[in-house]
Amino acid sequence: MLKFSSKLKVGIIIIFLIVLLLVLNLTNFFKEIKNFFYLISSPFQKTLLTVGESTSDFLSGILEISTFKQQINNLYLKNQELTGEIVALKELKKENEALREALKIGLEKDFQLEAVNLVSKDISQDVILIDKGENDGISKGMPVITPQKVLLGTISEVYKNFSNVTLITNEKSSFDAKIVDKEIYGVAKGKGDLKLSLEFLPKDKTISSGDLIETSALGGVYPKGLLVGEIKEVKKSDVEPFQTAEISSAFSLKKLDILFVIKSF
Amino acid sequence: MLKKIIFFIFLFYILILLQTSFLIPLSISGIVPNLVLIVVILVNLFNRTSEISGLIVALIGGLYLDIFSMSFFGFFGFYTLISLIISLFLKFILKNYVKIPSLEKF
């Protein structure tokens, strides 16, 4: 009898807890709690993040010392290639400016940006926490980019001083994307665990690995011309009406520090 | 009992700080170990099935996980329920299907 009553007690407590959670979820109570906890722990998290980064750099330096030489060689070659390209592009820029002046078209105005810091990464992956929120004029749905103009994700939840960013690799995320220099449009879908794929590509178009992908203005979710990633592998099957491609995203979570929220575009 | 609870509140806070900041750059192909959940499972494995402290530890750990994660479907309490279910499940298994005679003496 005593055993039964203690079991009953535990059951009642758990049911009470579930009801309490459900009711409190309807209010703003948990948002305040989260904001409070983020406020007191963000200084620790930032220091720990930098410590972790330096540890990771140290460890990877030891592990990858043999491949460094080859990598440096490759980078040197790539650098030379890009320098050549820059010279050519500078000429084009001059020409472009002259033509714009002749046609009297102003340059497109830049985005209104807000610089933010990465505080922590969510445990459930593909979501990060940044250190500005409602008080700084950030609202749901704003795109987030890195200083290199690489698309990172959108604001998905706003607290008073913090906000959550759902990365483009999250399973909930999907948006219109375009292959750079080719008029091929597709839908970029997050696959979780920092993986991304480009779907609904027409079958008759040729796509090769190494092609760059940028956002298109089609969905209206993101401004156009932001870098998304690079095609890693193309999957083509006779059964399916479209071809899909795996994308390796252009950002690396290990190297994120300062980010920008696009307030208007 | 109260001492135990305070100890776990501090321990879980340190673990959650580690797994949301320090371990991110050290992660291998984006996988970060969920230290809090591991401790919850260990505590419940080595706890006597009649004791309630395993459930309390699961509750504290679950609440921390909820605070420091983006809630699933906008529902706060997802991790709390998960860790409580894990705790109850382990207790059920240990009680009905596992017998360790040497441990019962202690």
Chain A residues with CB-CB distance to B32 below 8 A:
121, 123, 125
Option in B13, B19, B67 nearest A34 (CB): B67
Q: From the CA of A40, how many Å to the nearest CA of chain B?
A: 11
Cα A14 from Cα B50, distance rounded (Å): 17
pLDDT the model gives residue A201 = 86
**Which residues, in sequence order, are bridge partners of residue A246?**
A197, A233
Which residues have CB under 8 Å from A53's CB, separation 6+?
A254, B25
pLDDT at A202: 85
Q: Which chain B residues are closer than 8 Å to A53 by Cβ?
A: 25
Element housing A95 (H / E): helix A65-103
Contacts of A55 in chain B (CB under 8 A): 25-26
B52 CB near a chain A CB, below 8 Å?
yes
DSSP characters for B34-77?
-HHHHHHHHHHHSS-TT-SHHHHHHHHHHHHHHHTSPPGGG-TT
Residue B68 has a pLDDT of: 86
For residue B96, is pLDDT > 90? Answer: no
Q: How far apart are CA A167 and CA A76, in angstroms?
A: 32
Chain A / chain B CB contacts < 8 angstroms: 96
Which tens digits make up the pLDDT trace of B24-46? 888 777 678 889 999 999 999 88
Q: Which residues of A touch B75 (CB under 8 A)?
A: 25
Task: List the single best residue of A34, A48, A123, A168 to mutate versus B (max B Cβ within 10 A).
Answer: A123
pLDDT of residue A106: 55
In terms of CA atoms, which chain B residue is nearest residue A256? B25
pLDDT at B86: 92
> By the CB < 8 Å criterion, does B67 face chain A?
yes
For chain A, how many residues are written?
265
For residue A237, the SS3 value is coil
Contact B57, B38 (CB under 8 A): no
Predicted pLDDT at B25 = 80
**Quick check: A262 and A151 in contact, CB under 8 A?**
no
Residue A1's pLDDT is: 41
| β-pair partners for A189 | A174, A197
CA distance linking residue A101 with residue A103, whole number of Å: 5
The tens place of each residue's pLDDT in chain A, 265 residues long, gives 445 577 788 788 878 888 888 888 888 888 888 889 989 998 888 888 888 888 888 888 888 888 888 889 999 999 999 999 999 899 888 888 888 777 766 555 567 888 898 888 776 668 888 989 999 889 998 999 888 888 899 998 888 899 989 999 888 888 999 888 888 888 999 888 778 898 888 888 888 888 889 888 887 888 888 888 888 888 888 888 888 889 988 887 777 778 889 888 7
Strand partners, A249: A229
Q: Inform me whether the pLDDT recorded for B15 exceeds 90.
A: yes
B50 or B74: which carries more pLDDT confidence?
B50
DSSP letter assigned to residue B21: I
Pairwise CA distance, residues A79 & A58, whole Å: 25
pLDDT tier at B104 (50, 70, 90 boundaries)? low
Amino acid making up residue A40: I
Angle at A120 between CA A115 and CA A122, to 5 degrees: 120
Which tokens hold the place of B44? 């419940």
Would the ipTM clear 0.85, i.e. be above it? no
| pTM (predicted TM-score) | 0.75
pLDDT for residue A110: 65
Q: What is the pLDDT of residue B37?
A: 92
Query: What CA–CA distance (Å, rounded) separates A214 from A224?
Result: 7
